[in-house]
């Protein structure tokens, strides 16, 4: 059966976004630096980057789609990623406010799911047509899926910097046990692939 994966980049002190997230700085202060490995070392990190986008369907939280706070949550908001988002696959957005699917260029369709994380996963699994399903973020969404035991493989990309505050990934996830499957890295990131042990 297809796996449920989750790729996240976090700081050495455990944050996936810095302090004071805002519409103009959605990753918070210093948060952009987390992703230097993707932009400055695409070749050295090619396998990790490919792994992120290999899924047949994605799930994301409302904040990841529309930003923190009340945000631009209206019919006109089309995400952060321009006309052609990098997913090239169906994306299921968790929200309390249902709205019709939004078809973007390049194969990405945003689908809005208001009946919970298990329903979103079932829909994503169906849409993935045998490929993996990726839980894309943010922290709260990943925490919900981890706590519910619904993630098979957690791939942590640790950036060697300290954010000192912000949105922490591994809070409130219960007593997880994980098993490292492999490790690799560059001077800007350490990749560890974990199997979540049930």
Q: Does 12 bind its own copies (CB under 8 A)?
A: yes
- With a CB cutoff of 8 Å and minimum separation 6, the contacts of 19 are 28, 29, 163, 164, 165, 166
Instruction: Indicate which single residue of 50, 75, 76, 179 sits in contact with its own copies (rule: CB under 8 A).
Output: 179
The residue to which tokens 């952009």 are assigned: 32
Instruction: Indicate which single residue of 82, 86, 116, 180 sits in contact with its own copies (rule: CB under 8 A).
Output: 180
Nearest alpha carbon to residue 94 among 122, 114, 79, 119: 114
Q: Does 187 bind its own copies (CB under 8 A)?
A: yes
Over the window 118 to 157, marking each residue x when it contacts its own copies by CB under 8 A and - when it does not, the resulting string is: --------------------------------------x-
| Count of residues that interact with its own copies, criterion CB under 8 A | 29
Cα of 172 vs its chain's centroid, Å: 17
DSSP 179: E
Q: Return the number of other C-beta atoms located less than 10 Å from residue 75's C-beta.
A: 8
Q: Which stretch binds its own copies (CB under 8 A): 6-14, 59-67, 77-85, 87-95?
A: 6-14
Q: Does 13 bind its own copies (CB under 8 A)?
A: yes
Q: Return the number of other C-beta atoms located less than 10 Å from residue 190's C-beta.
A: 16
Tokens of 189: 């990131």
Over the window 18 to 37, marking each residue x when it contacts its own copies by CB under 8 A and - when it does not, the resulting string is: ------------x-------
Q: Does 164 bind its own copies (CB under 8 A)?
A: yes
Instruction: Indicate which single residue of 44, 122, 150, 178 sits in contact with its own copies (rule: CB under 8 A).
Output: 178
Q: Does 170 bind its own copies (CB under 8 A)?
A: yes
Minimum CB distance to its own copies, residue 174 (Å): 7
Q: Does 171 bind its own copies (CB under 8 A)?
A: yes
Minimum CB distance to its own copies, residue 19 (Å): 12
d(CA 26, CA 195): 29
Do residues 39 and 15 touch, judged by C-beta distance below 8 A? no
d(CA 38, CA 190): 12
Three-class DSSP category at 37: helix
Residues that bind its own copies (CB under 8 A): 12-14, 30, 156, 158, 160-162, 164, 170-171, 173-180, 183-187, 189-190, 192, 194
């Amino acid at each position: 059966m297809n796996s449920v994966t989750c790729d996240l980049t976090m700081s050495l002190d455990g944050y996936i976004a810095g302090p004071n997230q805002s519409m103009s700085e959605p990753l918070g202060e210093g948060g952009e630096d987390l992703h230097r490995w993707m932009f400055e070392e695409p070749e050295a990190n090619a396998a990790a980057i490919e792994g992120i986008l290999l899924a047949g369907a994605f799930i994301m939280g409302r904040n990841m789609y529309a930003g923190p706070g009340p945000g631009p949550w209206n019919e006109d908001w089309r995400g952060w990623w321009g006309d052609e988002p990098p997913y090239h696959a169906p994306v299921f957005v968790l929200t309390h406010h249902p709205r019709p699917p939004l078809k973007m260029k390049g194969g990405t369709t945003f689908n809005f799911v208001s009946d919970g994380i298990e329903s979103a996963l079932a829909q994503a699994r169906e849409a993935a047509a045998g490929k993996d399903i990726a839980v894309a973020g943010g922290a709260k969404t990943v925490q919900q899926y981890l706590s519910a035991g619904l993630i098979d493989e957690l791939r942590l990309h640790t950036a060697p910097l300290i954010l000192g505050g912000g949105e922490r990934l591994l809070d409130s996830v219960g007593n997880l046990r994980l098993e490292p499957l492999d490790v690799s890295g560059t001077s800007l990131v350490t990749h560890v692939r974990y199997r979540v042990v049930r």
